[in-house]
Amino acid sequence: MNFSEEELLQYLASFVWPFFRISSMFISVPVFSVRALPAKVRVMLSALITFVIMPTLPAMPNIQVFGYQGVMVTLQQVVLGLTSGFILQMVFSIMLFAGQTIAYSMGLGFASMVDPATGVQVPVIAQLFVIGGSLLFLAVDGHLLLIEMLAQSFHTLPVGTIGMDKTDLWRVISWSSLIFADGLLLSMPVMATLLFVNISFGVASKAAPQLQIFGVGFPITIMLGMVLIWIGLPTMLEGFSDMLHSGFALIGELLRLN
């Protein structure tokens, strides 16, 4: 069986461009982008998924893979994959921001550990929220839903030089403001309660300075914060689930699935 050079390049294009869109998603998507997961595993998963969906994909454009237009098409696929995973990364940043604000309100900002996803020091409370969000993300099969959306996007947004435009990028940038708005919304009950407790300690210390209220108030604030987190964590995870739904809706709009 003989293949011409054009047929080989066409077959290569039908694998390379979907592979770049899927592998770029694994670079930025939460849970799978952690440093603990070797890059070889992500590459193998991307190649496996690409081989599985290749028979269902529409015909690739008649563009040279190693030409200028082929490079532009490759960049479009990388941008689509990175943006899809980055949106979910911003959803997880909401939990991270909420955990940081609660930790600072409790006086536990000094208790930090390395976040495996970003490699930076974050408070332990924030890491607890991120772990809970990761487990919820896997429990609702969020990773499978994202892979399914990417597989469908090859039909709604075929491989070509036209992909995301400036309007889509600005939509993602404006949506990123939810990191601070929703993060404060999740942490507000705990922050407000601890604020009133600290105000009451300040009033008691002013009324009776000899009692040394703040010496006793620090462990009380930490214990009360732990109790409030224990009580409010289910509600926070429900709010995180709604934010995941909003993130997937934005990904669907960018991939022209809606």
Provide the pLDDT for residue 120. Answer: 64
In the structure encoding, which two tokens stand for residue 62, read together?
């008649």
Percent of the chain whose predicted confidence (pLDDT) is above 70: 86
Average of per-residue pLDDT across 65-83: 81
**Average pLDDT score, the chain:** 81
Please tell me whether the overall predicted TM-score, pTM, comes out greater than 0.85 for this model: no
Encode pLDDT of 2-51 as tens digits. 656 566 767 777 788 888 888 888 888 888 877 777 788 888 888 888 88
Q: Which two tokens stand for residue 199?
A: 């105000």
**What are the tens digits of pLDDT across the range 168-227?**
888 888 888 888 888 888 888 888 888 888 888 777 777 766 666 666 777 788 888 888
In this prediction, residue 116 has a pLDDT band, given cuts at 50, 70 and 90, of low
- Position 140 scores a pLDDT of 85
Helix runs in 107-141, H state only = 124-139
Sign of CA dihedral 70, 75, 76, 80: positive
Half-sphere exposure of 79 (CA within 13 A, CB side): 20
Q: Read off the DSSP letter of residue 60.
A: P
- The pLDDT assigned to 186 comes to 86
- Say how far apart CA 31 and CA 48 lie, in whole Å: 19
| Closest among 117, 115, 116 to 88, alpha carbons compared | 117
pLDDT (0 to 100) of residue 167: 83
3 state SS of 63: coil
